[in-house]
Structure 1
Amino acid sequence: MKVGYITSEYPHTKIKHAAGIGTSIKNLAIALVDKGIDVTVFVYHQNKNDIFVDEGVEIHLIKTERFKIATWFFYRKRIQKYINNIVKKKHIQILEAPDWTGITAFMKFKIPLVIRFHGSDAYFCKIEGRKQKFKNFIFEKSGLKKAKAYVAPTAYAGRETQKIFGLNNNKIKTIHYGLQLKHFVNKNPDIYNENTVLYIGTIIRKKGVLELAEVFNKVVEFNPNAKLILIGSDAPDIKTDSTSTYNLMENLFSEKAKKQSSYLGKIPYAEVQEHIKNTHVCTFPSFAETLGMVTIESMAMQKPVVNTSIGWAQELIDDEINGFLVHPSKIDDYATRIIELFNDKSKCIEIGRAARKKVEQLFDIEKNADINIEYYKSIIEK
């Protein structure tokens, strides 16, 4: 089988940007290559055109182009032409693209197109209660309607996206993102820096970081030795027009909490893994995700996670068994869970061990790659 992926991001030093979408695509692409599948990744909005191979995956960089008029249309056509040439040359049998921004709107392919619900702008606008630009909705709906089938990382993301765009529910299959578990091993889960809380992700309102500041105020009041570590890129704030959401966090911290918090910015992923290993509790109080890669990465490293309780998170964590689910708006309850874990090392070990088992059951990329292969085959053969 020969599969192609269309994306604006992918983790590699030659590529401008990589986040959750790119990480999940790379995890799957490498697992498919290991199973004998030929994988080609098309990365648009890049600084230059290039072709190279990384871990068995053939990667095509497509340079950003500007046109005198309707760049949104003509650049899509440029991408379409390039991909169709490679599809014909390599005999690629199926393409996959994300729902975000509706990149495949106005594109035509002679092979089946699958759209994976990484999270459309419309999806996040609905969850956050924001108004979406009409143009963005039309692009995303057009891209989705052209697809032959869909993949949702959680049943929640599938249901919400289906309702927003009026899709055929029978064409949506839930296949969780997966991890290469051999790269997520914590040999000493009982060794960590006590009373530390770790957050990984963009510093942005929708991730619940402003609520996290208030939560940590409560935690540090109870435990003056508590420390909060924040890792991720800072982002502008859509409600206040502030250029820095982290500045808004700082303004919410008490004096004690501010002294006990550290913002490390964006750091290499090898360092991120070390921080996960060394922390006491991981926390992700997000208001808007489709799954949340950092949650399952932390669970794989046998860390107790205090997570949001919204929709998708209920498919990741069984509350009080392999993690904790608390709505981000419930500041006192959220702080209480973190403090409970600080005070009970055996509970942390127990929760972490159960979290690893849950990841092995549902989020092992080797198992999930097989599910993807069978789904692709069923679409190709129709």
Structure 2
Amino acid sequence: MRIGFITSEYPHPTVKHAAGIASSIKNLAVVLAKQGNDVTVFVYHQEVSEVIMDQGVEIHLIKKETFKFFTWYFYRMHLQLYINNVVQHKRIDILEAPDWTGITAFIKLKVPLVIRLHGSDAYFCKLEGRKQKFKNFVLEKKALKKANAYIAPTSFAGNETRKIFGLNKHKIKTIYNGLQLELFNNESPSLYNRNTILYIGTIIRKKGVLELAEIFNQVIKKQPNAKLILIGGDSNDIKTGSKSTYKLMESLFTNEAKKQVNYLGKIPYEDVKEHIKKAHVCAYPSFAETFGMVTIESMAMHKPVVNTNIGWAQELIDDGVNGFLVHPSEIDEYANKIIELLNDESLCEQMGKAARLKVENLFDIEKNTEINLEYYKSILKT
């Protein structure tokens, strides 16, 4: 097949932004290409326009443009012209785009469009209890209503999005994100830095980082040697207007806890994987996700994860079997689960093995790519 992806982020040195959406798109795109499909990725809002090849995937960087009036509309028209020209030239069969900000609203594409529910602004606003800008809701709804079909990374994300926008449930298929498992091997899971707790993700309120500070304070009371490593870019805080959520987080640590925290900021992806290997326990107390790539990356490397217990996470982890699920607001319970793991090597080993097995069974990108392909083909037949 000839498949195109429309996205604002993709993991490549020439692309200015890459987060969870980027990782899941690349994992799929690379395996699709490896299996003999022609894959094109359109990355909009870039600093320059350029076409590059990477791991068999053709990447089109599309420069961000501004207009005197209605940039949100005229830039979409610019994308429409560019993408349709490539679609015709390469005879692309189907396009996929994210739901975030409704980038495909008002864009008329020459082939069927499937929207993957990575998480719309409306979805995150609902989970966080925030009010959404009316324009954003309109754009996202228009984009979604025009799509031929939808892919949800978890059933929870699909059901919540369906309720928000009134989508046809029969057009939504759950296909889990996946990993190239050979890139996430841990040959020595028994070797790690004891008492090291790892968090990976943007330092932002919705990820539960303020709660994580309080959780770590409780951990330190019983495990004075515990260390917390934080990896990810800082962000402004929408609630207080602070330019640094990490500053807010830092202000919550006790003096004892603060001495044991190491915030590394953004680091290269290969270095992130090394930190996962070295971690004793991984903690992801998020309030708002559609899936959680770092969760399955950690599980794939035999790590016991203490995760949020909200919706999507229940599809990744079986509580007490291959990780723990605790609501981020339950500070003491969350801390107790981390402490339990820090003090029980055999439990960590047992959960780590079970976590890897869960990833192999449900989140292997090789298997999930086949499911994606069959779904794409079914859309073309309708």
TM-score (norm 2): 1.00
Could you list the per-position Cα deviations for residues 124-179 of structure 1 after superposition, in whole angstroms to 9, with x for gaps in the alignment?
Answer: 00000000000000000000011000000000000000000000000000000000
Kindly report which structure 2 residues correspond to 1:15-94, keeping only aligned pairs within 5 A, or say none. 15-94=15-94
Q: Distance in 1 between matches of 2:279 and 2:70?
A: 49
Q: What is the CA distance between 1:312 and its match in structure 2?
A: 0.2
Q: Which residue of structure 2 lines up, in the alignment, with residue 334 of structure 1?
A: 334
- Cα deviation for residue 52 of structure 1 reads 1.1
Q: Matches of 1:222 and 1:303 in 2, distance apart?
A: 22
Cα distance in 1 for partners of 2:41, 2:244 equals 33
What's the CA shift string for 1:212-254, capped at 9, x where partnerless? 0000000011011000000000000111100000001111000
Q: Quick one: distance in 1 between partners of 2:60 and 2:346?
A: 49
Rounded to whole Å, the distance in 2 between the matches of 1:16 and 1:208 is: 25
Q: CA deviation at 1:110?
A: 1.8
Within a 5 Å distance, the mapping from 1:348-363 to structure 2 comes to 348-363=348-363
Whole-Å separation in 2 of the counterparts to 1:348 and 1:48 = 47
1:221 aligned partner: 221
The residue number in structure 2 matching 1:136 is: 136
Aligned residue for 1:121? 121
Q: Deviations over 1:27-69 (max 9, x none)?
A: 0001101111110000000111101110000010111111111
Other-structure match for 1:178: 178
The alpha carbon displacement at 1:13 in A equals 0.5
SS in 1 for 2:107: coil
Structure 2 residue identity aligned to 1:316? L
Deviations 1:160-219 (A, max 9, x none): 000000000000000000000000000000010001100000000000000000000000
State the shift of 1:332 in Å: 0.4
Match of 2:161 in 1: 161
Write the distance in 2 (CA, Å) between the matches of 1:284 and 1:179.
18
Cα separation, 2, equivalents of 1:308 and 1:80: 39
Q: Which residue type is aligned with residue 150 of structure 1?
A: Y
Paired with 2:94 and 2:184, the residues of 1 have a C-alpha distance of: 30
**Is 1:7 aligned with 2:30?**
no
Task: Show the 5 A alignment for 1:239-318.
Answer: 239-318=239-318
- Whole-Å separation in 1 of the counterparts to 2:283 and 2:31: 28
Counterparts of 2:342 and 2:18, CA distance in 1: 33
Q: Distance in 2 between matches of 1:215 and 1:47?
A: 40
Alpha-carbon distance between aligned partners in 2 of 1:264 and 1:52, rounded to the nearest angstrom: 30
Amino acid across the alignment from 1:215: I
Kindly provide the CA deviation profile for residues 104-130 of structure 1, in whole angstroms up to 9, marking residues without a partner as x: 000001210000000000000000000
Distance between the aligned counterparts of 1:323 and 1:135, measured in 2? 40
Could you tell me how far 1:381 is from its partner in structure 2? Answer: 1.6
Secondary structure of the residue aligned to 1:92 is coil
Residue 237 of structure 1 pairs with residue 202 of structure 2:
no
Aligned partner of 2:372 in structure 1 is 372
Structure 1 SS opposite 2:178: coil
Q: Size of the alignment, in residue pairs?
A: 382
The residue that corresponds to 1:146 in the other structure is: 146
Q: Distance in 2 between matches of 1:44 and 1:108?
A: 16
TM-score (norm 1): 1.00
- Which residue number corresponds to residue 104 of structure 2? 104
Question: Within 2, Cα distance between the matches of 1:223 and 1:119?
Answer: 37
* Aligned-partner Cα distance in 2 for 1:52–1:335: 46
SS of alignment partner, residue 52 of structure 1:
strand
What amino acid does structure 2 have at the position aligned with 1:216? Answer: F
Q: Which runs of 5+ in 2 are unaligned?
A: none
SS of the aligned residue for 1:352 comes to helix
Gaps of 5+ in 1: none
* SS of alignment partner, residue 139 of structure 2: helix
The Cα of 1:94 is off from its aligned counterpart by 0.2
Deviation at 1:309, TM superposition (A): 0.2
Q: Return the offset for 1:14.
A: 0.7
Residues 277-321 of structure 1, C-alpha deviations (whole Å, 9 max, x = no match): 001000000000000000000000000000000000000000000
d(CA) in 2 for partners of 1:259, 1:163: 45
